[in-house]
Amino acid sequence: MIPIRCLSCGKVVSAYFDEYQKRVQDGEDSKKVLDDLGLKRYCCRRMLIAHVEVW
């Protein structure tokens, strides 16, 4: 499961993961989705980009 918060700055990134995953699967550009979700810092953005849901 995705960590609740960004490992570097502590922002709660997990709350946006479901929406991020769904919108990217539907073909939206992940840059645009991250901007929409208000994740500005690269530490938070990599949390969503790099996460692989294994279970």
Partner 1 sequence: MEIEIKNQDDQELVFTIEGADVSLVNALRRIATVEVPTLAIETVQFTRNDARIFDEALAHRLGLVPIITDLEVVIPQEECDCEDYCSRCSVSFTLKGKGPKTLYSGDLKSSDPQIKPVLDTIPLVKLREGEELELEAIAQLGTGSQHAKWQPTTSCAYKHYPQITIDLDKCEACGLCADQCPRSVYRLDEKENKIEVVDLENCSMCNTCSKDCPNQAITVEGLRDKFIFRIESDGSFPPKEILSLACDLLSLKADTILDFL
27 Rama sector, left if φ>0, alpha if ψ -120 to 50, beta otherwise: left
Q: Judge residue 1's burial from the number of C-beta atoms within 10 Å of its C-beta, 0-12 exposed, 13-18 middle, 19 or more buried.
A: exposed
Rg of the chain, C-alpha, whole Å: 10
Near Zn ion by CB under 5 A, which window of 3-11, 20-28, 29-37?
3-11
Query: According to the binding rule CB under 8 A, does residue 1 interact with partner 1?
Result: yes
Query: According to the binding rule CB under 5 A, does residue 43 interact with Zn ion?
Result: yes
Chain contacts with Zn ion (rule: CB under 5 A): 6, 8-9, 11, 41, 43-44
Chain contacts with partner 1 (rule: CB under 8 A): 1-2, 4-6, 9-12, 14-19, 38, 41, 55
